[in-house]
């Protein structure tokens, strides 16, 4: 902070997260997340099977560790592409899935798209209020 005081505001803005000052040039960073995002929905039934527990998932013929690793990789790619542009806007990820679960229940095929929709609406509303 003492060595580079000009970069402090930029660093603090990125650490708290913001969509302020972003333009269409930043959309290139979203490409990995956009490519991976549909695959999360294609295999949403696997999440429901994993929610039954490891023993039940194995008895249903699922490779639990493989599914977890693949979903972890897909989630890391999606989250990494968003965080690289906006920073850590953590409150949305903490609130949106819980609101969506209250509305549609625990089925992943309905929960995932509604969480994304609620999160994006919540971000736009919070950004408009902040401005």
pLDDT tens digits along 94-106: 899 999 999 999 8
Task: Name every residue whose Cβ is closer than 8 Å to that of residue 100 and which is 6 or more positions away in sequence.
Answer: 111, 114, 115, 118
pLDDT in tens, 108-124: 989 988 998 999 898 88
* Kind plus residue range of the DSSP H or E element containing 46: helix 44-50
DSSP state of 31: H
Do 15 and 8 touch, CB atoms closer than 8 A? no
Whether 14 has a pLDDT exceeding 70, the answer reads: no
pTM of the predicted protein model: 0.75
- 86-120 in b/e form (b: 16+ CB < 10 A) is bbebeebeeebbeebeeeeeeebeebbebbbebbe
Burial (Cβ within 10 Å: 0-12, 13-18, ≥19) of residue 46: buried
Q: 25-29, 58-62, 102-106: which has the minimum mean pLDDT?
A: 25-29
Q: What is the band of 89 on the pLDDT scale with cuts at 50, 70, 90?
A: confident
Give the per-residue pLDDT at 93. 82
Give the per-residue pLDDT at 104. 95
Give the per-residue pLDDT at 63. 92
* Kind plus residue range of the DSSP H or E element containing 58: helix 54-59
Mean pLDDT (the chain, rounded): 85
d(CA 51, CA 59): 13
Whether 55 has a pLDDT exceeding 80, the answer reads: yes
Q: What is the band of 64 on the pLDDT scale with cuts at 50, 70, 90?
A: very high
d(CA 97, CA 120): 12
């Amino acid at each position: 902070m003492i060595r580079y005081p000009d970069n402090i505001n930029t660093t603090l803005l990125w650490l708290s997260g913001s969509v302020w000052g972003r333009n269409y040039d930043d959309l290139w960073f979203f490409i990995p997340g956009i490519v991976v995002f549909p695959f999360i929905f294609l295999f949403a039934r696997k999440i429901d099977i994993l929610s039954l527990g490891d023993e039940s998932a194995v008895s249903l013929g699922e490779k639990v560790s493989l599914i977890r690793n693949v979903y972890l990789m897909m989630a890391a790619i999606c989250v990494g592409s968003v965080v690289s542009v906006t920073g850590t806007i953590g409150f949305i990820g903490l609130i949106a899935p819980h609101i969506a679960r209250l509305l549609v229940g625990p089925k992943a095929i309905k929960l995932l798209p509604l969480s994304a929709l609620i999160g994006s609406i919540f971000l736009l509303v919070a950004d408009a209020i902040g401005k």
